[in-house]
Amino acid sequence: MSFTQRIFSSSLGRKYLMAISGALLMVFLIAHMTGNLLVFAGPDAFNAYGHYLKTHPQLLWPARIGLIVLFVLHVYTGISLARENRAARPTAYAFKNTIQATLASRTMALTGLLVLAYLIYHLLHFTIGIVQPQYFSGVDGQGRHDIYTMFILGFRNPIIYSSYVLAQIVLVLHLSHASRSFFQSMGWNQARFSGAIKTFSVAYTLVIFLGFLITPTCVILNFIKLPGEL
Q: How many CB atoms are located within 10 Å of the residue 60 CB?
A: 13
Output the pLDDT for position 88.
74
pTM above 0.85, yes or no: yes
CB 173 within 8 A of CB 79: no
Output the pLDDT for position 90.
58
φ/ψ (deg, to 5) at 139: -125, 155
Long-range CB contacts for residues 43-47, cutoff 8 Å, separation at least 24:
43/140, 43/146, 43/148, 43/149, 43/226, 43/227, 44/140, 46/147, 46/148, 46/151, 47/140, 47/142, 47/144, 47/145, 47/146, 47/147, 47/148
pLDDT one digit per residue (tens) for the chain, 230 residues: 676 777 778 888 889 999 999 999 999 999 999 999 999 999 999 999 999 999 999 989 999 999 999 999 999 998 888 888 777 765 555 445 444 568 888 888 899 999 999 999 999 999 999 999 999 999 999 999 999 999 999 999 999 999 999 999 999 999 999 988 889 888 887 888 889 999 999 999 999 999 999 999 999 999 999 988 86
Identify the bridge partners of residue 74 per DSSP, sorted by sequence position.
Answer: none
- Domain residue ranges in the chain: 3-220
CB 19 within 8 A of CB 180: no
φ/ψ (deg, to 5) at 94: -65, -35
Question: Which residue type is seen at 34?
Answer: T
125 by Cβ neighbours in 10 Å (0-12 / 13-18 / 19+) ranks as buried
Task: Dump pLDDT digits (tens) for 55-106.
Answer: 999 989 999 999 999 999 999 998 888 888 777 765 555 445 444 568 888 8
Q: Which class is 3-220 in CATH?
A: mainly alpha
